[in-house]
Structure 1
Amino acid sequence: MRLKDVAKVVKSKNAGPFEITLDIILPDAQAFDLVEASGVFDSALFARLYGFDESEILFSAYRPALAFKATIPRRIASGDIGDTDVYGAQQHAPLLDVEIPWSGSKT
C-alpha cells in the first residue's frame, strides 16, 4: 500500500528560511504501529528521496500525535532568487508513493 492510501495527512512547510519540515500523520494507533514496525520511515529514506546526506536529516517518530516528522535543508533559501516554493508547501509529493508493507485493514 502506498503512503497516500493510508496516511491521514502528508504535508510540508517551512521550518524557517533554510529548512523544510515534512509531516506524516496516521489515522489511528493501529496504522501508526504498523507503519512504525515496517521500518520504512527513517532518515535514510528522506535522504534518498530528497538527495541529501543522511546526516543532514532530522527524523523522529512521535506516537502521541501518530506522526513521523523529518526536517531537511532547503537547497535555496525561502524567497531567494530561484526559489520555486516560498512556503515549502509542495515538497511532500515524493512521499506519497512510498510503499508501506501493509497487513492491517485499510483505514
Structure 2
Amino acid sequence: MPKLNDVCRYVRSKNAGPFWVTIDLFFDGQDAYQRYSDDPAISAAAIGRLYGVEAQAVRRFKVDTLNVVKISIPRSQPQGGVLERDMHSGQQFVPMLDIVLA
C-alpha cells in the first residue's frame, strides 16, 4: 500500500493567517488524484487525530483542475506567540508524508 509521499509529487504547508495552517497535497497526475483524494487516511477525522484537533475544525478543499487537496487546520499556537515554534508553518506537512493509503 502506498504512502502519501509516493502518490504526491509535492506536499507543502504554509501559513493561512495567524490562526490557521494549510497543507497542500499535489497529486502526481489525475489518476493518483482520482484514486486517493478521498482516501479515508486523509479524511478530516484522520487529519484531526494526526494533528490533535477536532475533526469539525479540519477544512478540506478539493481542486479538481489542479489535482490538489488543500487541508486547513487551526494552529496550536497563534503565529508569533511566545509558544509558537514554526512561524511560517513550513514544517507542518512532515507528519503527513508517511500516511499509508488504501
On whether the aligned pair clears a TM of 0.5, the verdict is yes
CA distance in 2, matches of 1:37, 1:49: 17
Deviation of 1:51 (Å): 0.6
Corresponding residue for 1:17?
18
Structure 1 residue 100: Cα displacement: 1.5
Structure 1, gaps ≥5 residues long: 102-107
TM-score w.r.t. length of structure 1: 0.87
Amino acid at match of 1:12: S
Q: Which moved more, 1:42-51 or 1:31-40?
A: 31-40
RMSD of equivalent CA atoms: 1.2
Aligned residues: 101
Q: For the structure 1 residues 86 and 34, does the alpha-carbon distance in structure 2 shift closer, same or farther, using more than 3 Å as the test?
A: same
The corresponding residue for 2:43 is 42
Distance 1:29 1:42 in 2: 19
Mark the runs of 5 or more structure 2 residues left unpaired by the alignment: none
| Residue identity in the other structure for 2:50 | L
Identity between Structure 1 and Structure 2 (%): 30
CA distance in 1, matches of 2:44, 2:38: 15
What is the aligned partner in structure 2 of residue 29 from structure 1? 30
1:41 deviates by 2.2
Aligned counterpart, 1:79 = 80
Name the structure with the higher strand share: 2
1:31 is matched by which residue type in structure 2? A
Q: What CA deviation, in whole Å up to 9, does each residue of 1:20-44 have, x standing for no partner?
A: 0011011210110111354432211
Q: CA–CA distance in 1 between the matches of 2:45 and 2:58?
A: 8
Structure of larger gyration radius: 1
* Per-residue deviation, residues 52-101 of structure 1 (Å, max 9, x unmatched): 11111111222111011111111111111011100000000111000123
Rounded to whole Å, the distance in 2 between the matches of 1:70 and 1:59 is 5
